[in-house]
Amino acid sequence: MSPSFDPTALGTGPAPAIGAADSAQAAWGNSDSAFIDAVASESGLLAEQSQLADSTVLELVEQSYGLKGTLVRIPTEKDETFRLRDGEETYLVKLSSPDEDPVIVHLQTACMEHLERTAPELPVQRLVRSLDGDPQVLIPASVGAFDRVLRVMRFMPGDLLANHEASAGQLQLVGSSLARLGIALQDFDHPRAERLLLWDLKHFHRMRPLLDHVGEKQKRSLAEDIFDQFDEKVVPLLDTLTSQVVHGDFSPFNVLVNPDSPDYVTGIIDFGDVVRTPVIFDISVTMANLLGADPSSPWKHALHAMNGYRKIRPLPVEEFEALTASAPARLLLRALITEWRASQLPQRRDYLLSHSQPDWDRLASTAAAPTPKLTTTP
């Protein structure tokens, strides 16, 4: 398929070379440890946050978008994010890191534009055009490898799924919403859709070196079992699994809901993990975040979401079993990345490890339960 997006056509200045990730791609031939470092670097997890003064950001927004008002900074992992109140309107302002390739941001922007054109009925966050009519603006950076990318989006009201105890039917609606999103992205492509992303499960089998940062024997044994299951059930299928560009992080923190709405899901936000990968890894993210929510029946909530997904978008029979290995793998990956970052940031070690403990608890309860037998009909 030819790319549906030309990064040079955005009117945001010269786009960086498409081969900006060549050094990371070359890591495929190196050790798994070197590969992890390369992927983490391209994923933006090794960069130090570089912050502009709020007043400077507000000035940039006014110059480029004609918007004024009050900025409130929202803590995030990589970019700088703000809520902007301008009169009766509320916006989300995002400024990429000077260590993030603008073409990766272009990928995210192009994905959102594609959905606005081809699936306007989906409740996806909308971009605001600049005064020059562009969906994003390049800002020269005084430090870092790249210019920064400024974007403004409509702020979407609603409650996070993470803060709501969803019923079985509502979880099915979460799954069906993801399926509709995936269908809308089937014909989307981009020169950097094959980006290297640490969260992408197609690389999970190369992440075993992260076990070096797990000190507790019981946790390490649990993790090794999950790696073994992934190697057995998923790795042999990697070259044959249905693949496309996916949202990549359809988690309870990126889904807005309204219990009084018949559709339940009223907002889909944060396209920062968009990537081309096997489709089952997209629903694996959602399932992973629901595993162990009910310790007495660890798979229950995840299966509700999966069944809702399959009602809209059936999956090939041979891919079903892989879900029982890839969903726990995604939850484990989050725990391992947190442990790894705790080893790199000793000043935040206790805080990070306290946030990873619930993931380990959910993994343990899931591992103790029988693996569900997936049927061909949801």
Residues 164 and 138 placed together within one structural domain of the fold: no
For residues 164 and 258, give the distance between their C-alpha atoms in angstroms, rounded to a whole number: 9
Q: Is residue 22 part of a domain?
A: no
In the predicted model, what is the mean pLDDT of the chain?
Answer: 88
CATH no. for residue 244? 3.90.1200.10
Q: What percent of the chain has pLDDT over 70?
A: 87
Last residue of a domain, one of 155, 174, 204: 155
Instruction: Give the chain as a 3 state SS string.
Output: CCCCCCHHHCCCCCCCCHHHHHHHHHHHHCCHHHHHHHHHHHCCCCCCCCCCCHHHHHHHHHHHHCCCCEEEEECCCCCEEEEEEECCEEEEEEECCCCCCHHHHHHHHHHHHHHHHHCCCCCECCEECCCCCCCCEEECCCCCCCCEEEEEEECCCCEEHHHCCCCHHHHHHHHHHHHHHHHHCCCCCCCCCCCCCCCCHHHHHHCHHHHHHCCCHHHHHHHHHHHHHHHHHCHHHCCCCCEEEECCCCCCCCEEECCCCCCCEEEECCCCCCEEEECHHHHHHHHHHHCCCCCCCCCHHHHHHHHHHHHHCCCCHHHHHHHHHHHHHHHHHHHHHHHHHHHHCHHHHHHHHHHHHHHHHHHHHHHHCCCCCCCCCC
Last residue of a domain, one of 110, 132, 155: 155
109 versus 48: the higher-pLDDT residue is: 109
Residue 357: pLDDT over 90: no
Q: Model confidence at 352, in pLDDT bands (50, 70, 90)? A: low
Residues 168 and 80 placed together within one structural domain of the fold: no
Q: Is residue 98 part of a domain?
A: yes
Q: Is residue 172 part of a domain?
A: yes
Residues 198 and 127 placed together within one structural domain of the fold: no
Q: Is residue 1 part of a domain?
A: no
Residues 151 and 211 placed together within one structural domain of the fold: no
pLDDT in tens, 205-215: 999 999 998 98
142 versus 228: the higher-pLDDT residue is: 228
pLDDT in tens, 301-350: 999 999 999 999 998 877 888 999 999 999 999 999 988 877 776 766 67
Q: Is residue 9 part of a domain?
A: no
Q: Is residue 2 part of a domain?
A: no
Last residue of a domain, one of 124, 155, 186: 155
The confidence score (pLDDT) of residue 142 equals 82
Least confident of 97-101, 200-204, 269-273: 97-101
Residues 145 and 173 placed together within one structural domain of the fold: no
Mean pLDDT (whole number) for 255-260: 95
Full residue range of the structural domain in which residue 355 is found: 160-368
Residue 194: pLDDT over 70: yes
Residues 190 and 317 placed together within one structural domain of the fold: yes
The confidence score (pLDDT) of residue 8 equals 39
CATH no. for residue 51? 3.30.200.20
Q: What percent of the chain has pLDDT over 90?
A: 71
Q: Is residue 117 part of a domain?
A: yes
Q: Model confidence at 152, in pLDDT bands (50, 70, 90)? A: very high
Q: What's the total number of domains in the chain?
A: 2
pLDDT in tens, 16-69: 333 334 444 444 455 888 888 888 777 776 666 678 999 999 999 999 999 999
Q: Model confidence at 13, in pLDDT bands (50, 70, 90)? A: very low
Mean pLDDT (whole number) for 74-100: 91
Mean pLDDT (whole number) for 155-168: 93
How many other CB atoms are there within 10 angstroms of residue 82's CB atom? Answer: 20
The confidence score (pLDDT) of residue 28 equals 47
Averaging pLDDT over each range in 140-144, 210-214, 374-378, which range is the top one?
A: 210-214
Q: Is residue 26 part of a domain?
A: no
Mean pLDDT (whole number) for 124-139: 97
Residues 187 and 79 placed together within one structural domain of the fold: no
